[in-house]
Amino acid sequence: MIADPATRIVPGPPPTDGDDQLAPDVWGFKDTRFVLLPNGNAMLTGGRYALSGTELPALVPWVRQVLANPFVERPASAGKFPAPVPAARAPEAFLAAAAQRLGKAQVSTDPLVRMRRGHGHTLDEMYEIKHHGLHRVPDAVVFPGTTDDVVALVQLADAHQVVLVPYGGGTNVSEALRCPEDEPRPIVAVDMGRMNRIRWIDKENRLACIEGGAVGRHITSQLAEHGLTLGHEPDSYEFSTLGGWVATNASGMKKNRYGNIEDLVVDLEAVTAGGVIRRAATTPRESVGPDPRRWLFGSEGTLGIVTSAIVKVFPLPERVEHDALLFPSFEAGVAFLHDLSRSGVAPASVRLVDNLQFQLSQTLRGPATGLNAYKRRAERWFVTKVRGLEPTKMVACTLLYEGTTDEVAREMATVQRLSKARGAMRAGSENGKKGYQLTFGIAYIRDFVLQYGVLAESLETSVEWSRALELCARVKARVAREATERGVKGPPFITCRISQIYPTGVCIYFYLGLNDDDLTDPVGTYGAIENAARDEILQCGGALSHHHGVGKRRRGFLPAVHTPVALDWLRALKQSVDPKNIFGIGNL
């Protein structure tokens, strides 16, 4: 992968806020989590987010009401971290050779280091690490610093019959990192955290070469120093990595302007069981037969390790604007999004939440006193009495505009025209900004309510426009039936938002929450209801996943997605490029 030396810049090292700032037992940063204050209000600790440090008097009462949950702390639900970690099946000869190659500091058998590389952030995994523990975790963790280090590790794994598992940010919700319990060989996690540099930036050709272990928040800040952006911003971008985005075929919130990961990657370098995949030069497009590099997209650690990628970069936008709209119903909001997709002029990000999720967003506001209280009452009166929007039906759409001044003006004018035709009222830039930022707080809320007996997780799909409303309604109805049949106390929390729009359809993102009162197998019950929701999605013509991937969580549904011939092709590909199953994590 060659760039013209005359046009490239070599940035400095990435920021130093690394894994030591991340929480070992819950999502996100150590200094950031929701807590219940003595006065009954919730609060997000730390100072990283606009919401941080604000007392939230409405959140807990709302959860009590919606889920019929008393919201009393239950140590049995929260568990105690860390749960027991399985003993390492130490591959001594491999570890000695790896330490000689990498240095002793880059090889670890520490139980907590091993455990963290053996799970993602599904409800099951979060529950297990605080209760009975994971049944199998990596036996060791290695930290390569170069592509040559990764090549050497693959050769050592081949020689010593060791399984290698790539590890990036550990943010997946597909059980992609869960180690196969029946694997007799030692399992070694390859933590890519040291391969986190931007190798070069080519401003003239708008390209950058970035290593696979680089974290989204660092990529964003470093490119910004040079007036550039990648534009890829998945919900997990603060913690997930470039290599992980390729391996899961990820999508970002601003894909309308910048594209999904498959649109952004121009070239990549990967280490496979047979050696290194790389190209001598990067070109805008070519036709040279089937592209082996594309096999890595969505491969989820089964075919090799992405060590770097050449990606498109863009000038920082001249203008950035947030906005929000209120619609009288979810149906009206979806019709607006459909109109917007056909206009060919869509903001960088546009998201529509249903009424229940809109209600949740309203609980994430501080107490109203004095003039602020009067202002809120006036706003509520205007929305409900003057504009006639019903509190139990109205929905919200948040928008983010990025681009030149003219582009943003054109997009805003189009949105204003189309939304007005669907009965919308503008809610303003501050509400738009808060709605956009809510995305980064949802995972923190999930880990907070788990302490109080609420089991929650997300699932996503994509579907054609003509079936979007049907799919949302049927999934909600299926979840309600399944919850009743399985003895769930109180109604389930099932809400959705449309996160992405395409000319042909939408990405729909669901949040599912259950009260675990009186459930003998809470996590098992949750999993069964989630699987029923996925079954309903497939029956409605939806995708098994839009961007989360398959992992082990959804692997059983693949025969409903692919024909037997396609499944045979996938198995044949794996057998051909990795005949000894060195990358034996067992996904797909």
Where do runs of H (alpha helix) occur along 498-563?
522-539, 558-561
Contacts of residue 75, defined as CB under 8 A and 6 or more positions apart, other chains included, come to none
User: Distance between CA 434 and CA 361 in Å, rounded?
Assistant: 9
In one-letter notation, the amino acid at residue 318 is: E
User: Distance between CA 256 and CA 276 in Å, rounded?
Assistant: 33
Contacts of residue 364, defined as CB under 8 A and 6 or more positions apart, other chains included, come to 51, 56, 59, 434, 438, 441
User: Distance between CA 417 and CA 335 in Å, rounded?
Assistant: 13
Question: Residue 394: which H helix or E strand, with range?
Answer: none
Q: Which of 223, 229, 268 shows the shortest CA–CA distance to 247?
A: 268
Residues forming beta bridges with residue 510, ordered by sequence position: 459, 496
- DSSP string for 466-498: GGHHHHHHHHHHHHHHHHHHTT-SS--EEEEEE
In one-letter notation, the amino acid at residue 190 is: V
In one-letter notation, the amino acid at residue 233 is: E
User: Distance between CA 497 and CA 395 in Å, rounded?
Assistant: 10
**Strand 425-426 to 395-403 pairing:** unpaired
How far apart, in Å, are the Cα atoms of 169 and each of 22, 159, 378? 10, 28, 45
| CA dihedral over 341, 358, 122, 527, signed as positive or negative | negative
Our answer to whether residue 127 is catalytic in this structure is no
Q: Which of 258, 282, 113 shows the shortest CA–CA distance to 188?
A: 113
Q: Which of 268, 238, 232 shows the shortest CA–CA distance to 251?
A: 232
Residue listed under structure tokens 């009424």: 355
| CA dihedral over 281, 285, 290, 294, signed as positive or negative | positive
User: Distance between CA 492 and CA 455 in Å, rounded?
Assistant: 10
Contacts of residue 135, defined as CB under 8 A and 6 or more positions apart, other chains included, come to 86, 181
Contacts of residue 170, defined as CB under 8 A and 6 or more positions apart, other chains included, come to 116, 117, 119, 120, 121, 177, 239
Catalytic residue among 127, 509, 511, 526: 509
The residues assigned a catalytic role are 509
